[in-house]
Amino acid sequence: MNFTDAQIQRYSRHIILPEVGGKGQKKLAHAKVLLIGAGGLGSPAALYLTAAGVGTVGLMDGDVVDLSNLQRQILHTTATINQPKVESGRKMLTALNPEITVNTYQETVTAENIMGFLPDYDIVLDGSDNFATRFLVNDACFFAKKTLISASMFRFEGQLTTIKPHAGYPCYRCLYPEPPPAGLVPNCQEAGVLGVLAGTMGILQASEAIKEILGIGETMADRLLIYDALEMKFRKVSRPKDPACPLCGPHPTITDLGSNYSVTCSI
């Protein structure tokens, strides 16, 4: 594939970087990234991946745009309220960069459908809003050997890590072996979230995805980032592989997506 003059101009600030160059820009053009959730995290991530020239962006979300989303979900606008988020998102992404392919899936991710989507992608970004989906996406990406960039947030605090057990790194269950039972840890947007925190965390996800595509910089695959927006503090802690991990350990007890990924969602 050769870039057109317009593409060279569009991506010139990338191409001039020795770490990217024309070769890296081609890697981005061939990359396929699936976003689980076109909401708070998925919005900024999708916008920057699209702007960066990632060739295929998949948006998966079953919801429609609600007025209360617009405080942080910048893929959507007042004019697209009540429209499916994936359609609203497609319009925005195509307007930003008509040269990329945007695939849309207006459905909720489930144990039944996820393995059907993963083969078409290289990297998955988890921007879901509940533990059940996070464990499901982790397990599915493990079985499909796809790199997963996971971010989550709560009020003023965010977490981010890269998950690629197929490359010898730990999985999400190595970090948190089990989801909390309902009622112990608040996990829903009803708890409130600083809108711009979604931007910070979603853009960090996009940044890590681009690094994984280009193969540059330090991976977050053995680290967990914790960001406190109120104190303006970023901390990184180590994230080792759990030798007793029920999924990616040597003696797995989870061998398919038959587990009960029931939604726990209360404060």
Partner 1 sequence: MIKVRIPTPLRPLTKGQGEVESQGGSVEEMINLLDSAHPGLKGRLCDDKGELRRFVNIYVNEEDIRFLQGKATTLKDGDEVSIVPAIAGGR
Applying CB under 8 A, the residues found at the interface with partner 1 are 37, 39-42, 69, 73, 126-131, 134, 151-157, 159, 175-180, 184-189, 191, 193, 198, 224, 226, 228, 230-231, 235-240, 242
For residue 101, the minimal CB distance to partner 1 (Å) is: 24
Q: What residues contact 238, with CB distance under 8 A and at least 6 apart?
A: 222, 223, 224
Check if the beta carbon of residue 53 is closer than 8 Å to that of residue 26.
no
For residue 19, the minimal CB distance to partner 1 (Å) is: 27
Rank residues 25 and 205 by Cβ distance to partner 1 and give the closer one.
205
For residue 22, the minimal CB distance to partner 1 (Å) is: 34
| Virtual torsion, Cα 73, 140, 257, 177, nearest 10 deg | -80
- 3-class DSSP assignment, residue 106: coil
Check if the beta carbon of residue 118 is closer than 8 Å to that of residue 34.
yes
Residue 176 corresponds to which amino acid? Y
For residue 102, the minimal CB distance to partner 1 (Å) is: 19
Check if the beta carbon of residue 264 is closer than 8 Å to that of residue 181.
yes
Q: How far is CA 236 from the centre of its chain?
A: 19
Rank residues 51 and 226 by Cβ distance to partner 1 and give the closer one.
226
For residue 81, the minimal CB distance to partner 1 (Å) is: 16
Please give the Cα distance from 147 to 190 (Å, whole number): 30
For residue 242, the minimal CB distance to partner 1 (Å) is: 7
- 3-class DSSP assignment, residue 220: coil
Cα-Cα-Cα-Cα dihedral sign, residues 152, 127, 223, 29: negative
Please give the Cα distance from 128 to 134 (Å, whole number): 7
Rank residues 4 and 238 by Cβ distance to partner 1 and give the closer one.
238
Rank residues 29 and 38 by Cβ distance to partner 1 and give the closer one.
38
Rank residues 9 and 71 by Cβ distance to partner 1 and give the closer one.
71
Please give the Cα distance from 69 to 128 (Å, whole number): 14
Check if the beta carbon of residue 24 is closer than 8 Å to that of residue 30.
no
For residue 91, the minimal CB distance to partner 1 (Å) is: 19
Rank residues 29 and 198 by Cβ distance to partner 1 and give the closer one.
198
Please give the Cα distance from 215 to 209 (Å, whole number): 10
Rank residues 167 and 267 by Cβ distance to partner 1 and give the closer one.
267
Rank residues 181 and 215 by Cβ distance to partner 1 and give the closer one.
181
For residue 20, the minimal CB distance to partner 1 (Å) is: 28
Beta bridge partners of 151: 160
